[in-house]
Structure 1
Amino acid sequence: MPDRIELTGITAHGRHGWFPHEQEQGQRFVVDVALTLDTSPAAATDDLSDTVDYGTLAERVVDIVEGKPVKLVETLAQRIADTCLDDIRVEEVEVTVHKPEAPTTVPVGDVTVTIRRARK
């Protein structure tokens, strides 16, 4: 059974969206990331360098959300997944991007896009 490291509720202000006002004003985005990897090397050595530093990863996710705007949440999720897979130890990643203030014609509690990507 593979090991997982999960970060939930990473929150940042981004300017992503289809409508011009979304890219001008921006809004809150919340990101959940689940990494599949072998954590046994880190467990054996008790050394942070043998695993994914989730604090640094969270900072990278915030940088992406606060960075260059995209129109689709799917594109934002892919950028985050690509960053997670930059670490050779990560075998798979699941990224959920929440857009709780998404402009919709009817009230919704949240809009999410979830993608799963694996190392090729």
Structure 2
Amino acid sequence: MPEFTTILDRLAVMIRLGIHDFEAEPQRVIVSVEMTVDYPEPLRDDTIEQVLDYDFVRERIVALAAERRFALQETLCETVAGLCLADARVRRVKVRTMKTDVYPDARIGCEIVRVSEP
């Protein structure tokens, strides 16, 4: 069975994320996603219908950023991982978020790895 890693790297979104008063307004967060995707057979055609269309991941993250407030990066990571694992072909997902503007000298982030249940 072919196994691919589909990557969405460094998607910048403005999102309401955090527990501090200064985080009440949307802030810039970088989101990266790696999905290990299994396909039932080798790819035969060069068509999107055969593979996971990564547009859905980007679109759902952008929608989450516009619609929802998160207190914790851990919750954001867990939510994005759940979106990815909703596709049965995704066997493993790694999600990383990075707040870029909280500290003047560093970024602060969180990462989760989840594996689909058999």
- Calculate the TM-score normalised by the size of structure 1: 0.86
Higher strand share: 2
Q: Deviations over 1:11-64 (max 9, x none)?
A: 1100110113312x2200110000001257472232212221112221111112
Give yes or no for contact 1:35–1:94 (8 Å, CA) kept in 2.
yes
Alpha-carbon RMSD:
1.9
Which structure 2 residue ranges, 5 or more long, are not aligned? none
Q: 1:96 maps to what in 2?
A: 96
Residue pairs, 1:36-47, within 5 angstroms: 36-39=36-39, 41=41, 43-47=43-47
Q: 1:8 maps to what in 2?
A: 9
Q: Deviations over 1:59-95 (max 9, x none)?
A: 1111122321111100011010000111111001000
Q: What amino acid is aligned across from residue 12 of structure 1 in structure 2?
A: V
Regions of 4+ moved over 4 Å:
39-42
Q: 1:111 maps to what in 2?
A: 108
Residue pairs, 1:50-69, within 5 angstroms: 50-69=50-69
> Number of matched residues?
116
Give yes or no for contact 1:65–1:76 (8 Å, CA) kept in 2.
no
Q: 2:28 maps to what in 1?
A: 28
Higher helix share: 1
Paired-residue identity, %: 28
**CA distance in structure 2 between the partners assigned to 1:42 and 1:101 by the alignment:** 44
Q: 2:85 maps to what in 1?
A: 85
- Calculate the TM-score normalised by the size of structure 2: 0.87
**CA distance in structure 2 between the partners assigned to 1:86 and 1:40 by the alignment:** 17
Which structure 1 residue ranges, 5 or more long, are not aligned? none
